Amino acid sequence: MATKEKPAKEPMPPLNVWLAPVAVGWLIPGGGHYLLKRTGRAVLLTVSVTCMFVLGLLMRGAMFKPQSGDILTILINWGGFLGDIASGILYLLTSWLGYAQADVPGAVHDYGTKFLVTAGLLNVLAMVDAYEIAGGRKS
């Protein structure tokens, strides 16, 4: 009987190779791709994340704040907060400028809140892409 061997795990690229593109990619959506000279992807990501974030603000979406309570409240609010903060400078500027829309019922406000979180999650995907390009796993 033939045995299947597990493929060898690729070693993690050195920290100095991927840290700057990932950190700049978090702070400025698409910034990691600019550092890696992937201008087309960088422009696409910058425009996509920024437009999604701005549309969420225009729909008066609420920013999540970490809260305590039951486990579901904790998961929803902390997860939403992490999604919001993943937008980097967009979230930081919005918070520093005092945007604090109350969470009100209504479809448009709810969609706006989801747009804000989704912009951050799209930026997380961009950071993973920058990590893989910097590490040589992807071209």
pLDDT at 1 (0 to 100)? 56
Please list the rounded mean pLDDT of every run of 10 residues in the chain (139 residues). 70 85 96 95 96 95 90 92 95 90 84 95 96 88
| 123 belongs to a structural domain | yes
Give the separation between CA 29 and CA 1, rounded to whole angstroms: 51
Q: List the domain range (segments joined by +) for residue 27.
A: 15-134
Residue carrying the six token digits 């795990």: 9
pLDDT at 78 (0 to 100)? 93
* Neighbouring C-beta atoms of residue 55, cutoff 10 Å: 15
| 112 belongs to a structural domain | yes
Q: How many domains does the chain have?
A: 1
3-state helix vs strand vs coil in the chain, percent to 5: 65, 0, 35
| 6 belongs to a structural domain | no
